[in-house]
């Protein structure tokens, strides 16, 4: 199963680490590129946008701190709801 995590802060990062430990094929995205790079080193695959992730994964978890950030993740030009 392909799982995606958008937002790799305290909570999203913990979810992502646990998913990797359990052997899931993990895709990650965060606006802080160094967080994505850290997870790539652990075996995750990085994506360029939430829309790209939504077009790849079976399950998508979002973990962002503010409601306006959540709206952006879902509704912006490269947001989840814009996935082909």
* Residue-level pLDDT at 52: 97
Q: Which pLDDT band holds residue 6 (cuts at 50, 70, 90)?
A: very high
Provide the β-strand partners of residue 25.
2
pLDDT tens digits along 24-79: 999 999 999 999 999 999 999 999 999 999 999 999 999 998 988 899 999 999 99
pTM as predicted: 0.93
Collapsing DSSP states into helix, strand and coil, what is residue 28?
A: strand
84: pLDDT strictly greater than 90: no
* Residue-level pLDDT at 58: 97
């Amino acid at each position: 199963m392909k799982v995606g995590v958008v937002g790799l802060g305290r909570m999203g990062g913990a979810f992502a680490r646990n998913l990797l430990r359990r052997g899931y094929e993990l895709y990650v995205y965060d606006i802080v590129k160094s967080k994505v790079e850290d997870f790539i080193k652990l075996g995750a695959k990085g994506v360029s946008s939430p829309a790209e992730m939504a077009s790849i994964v079976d399950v998508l978890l979002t973990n962002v701190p503010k409601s306006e950030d959540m709206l952006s993740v879902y509704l912006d030009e490269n947001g989840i709801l814009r996935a082909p």
